[in-house]
Amino acid sequence: MNEKKQRILDAAITLFAKDGFWNTSTASISKEAGVATGTLFNHFSSKDALINAVYVSLKKEIHTSIMAIWQPDGTLKKNLLAAWSCVIHWGLKNQDRYDLMEQLRMSERVSQETREAMAAEFSAFQMDIQMGVAEAVLEELPVAYHMQACAALMSATLIYLRSPEGGSADPDALINSAFAAYWHGVAQ
């Protein structure tokens, strides 16, 4: 990615996280990036294209973190715990980015094509869950359900850790306990 395009993407992430993507104009993104508005549109055909690129960028950050610790021949439980811990720690370290990613995940502005491309990025994760279901390690539920349940409980754990009540908790101990509760709910 060229330097100007990266500056535009970084500026969009910063401003979307601060002001919301719905309240952020392309002119303000261009100004923050130090480029002309026309330059933004040379790299992104529309604000929606930029929103989709931001979503992809954030998902790839998380994917890169997870794949750095993913063990292709590791057990499903160990890999899920490692991914669980990785995502929550990334979210604690990058609270604005995590919140933005969650907003975008729920937004209709992110295209189905982009969602499918990002799902493909997490295929190792999905294949392991599918294998866990096939081998009766996990409850016989659709892979998409398992993915949503995992994401929802990771998010709940992160929200709690960021709350006044959870702020004093030992993050790793809570992450492990929350994962144990999740695993108890989905494992056979």
User: What tokens were used for 59?
Assistant: 């998902």
Query: What's the token pair of residue 160?
Result: 């709690």
Tell me what the mean pLDDT of segment 122-130 comes to.
89
Q: Which CATH number fits domain 1-44: 3.30.530.20, 1.20.120.50, 1.10.10.10, 1.10.10.60?
A: 1.10.10.60
pLDDT mean over 128-151: 94
* Domain definitions of the chain by residue range: 1-44, 47-186
What's the average model confidence in pLDDT over 132-140? Answer: 95
Distance CA 40, CA 25 (A): 11
Query: In this structure, which topology does domain 47-186 adopt according to CATH?
Result: Tetracycline Repressor; domain 2 (1.10.357)
Amino acid letter for position 97: R
Mean pLDDT over residues 156-173, rounded? 94
Q: What is the mean pLDDT of residues 52-70?
A: 94
10-50 confidence digits (pLDDT tens): 999 999 999 999 999 999 999 999 999 999 999 999 999 99
| pLDDT, tens digit, 9 for 90 and up, residues 63-107 | 999 999 988 888 999 999 999 999 999 999 999 999 999 999 999
Q: Please check whether residue 183 is in contact with residue 77, taking contact to mean a CB–CB distance below 8 angstroms.
A: yes
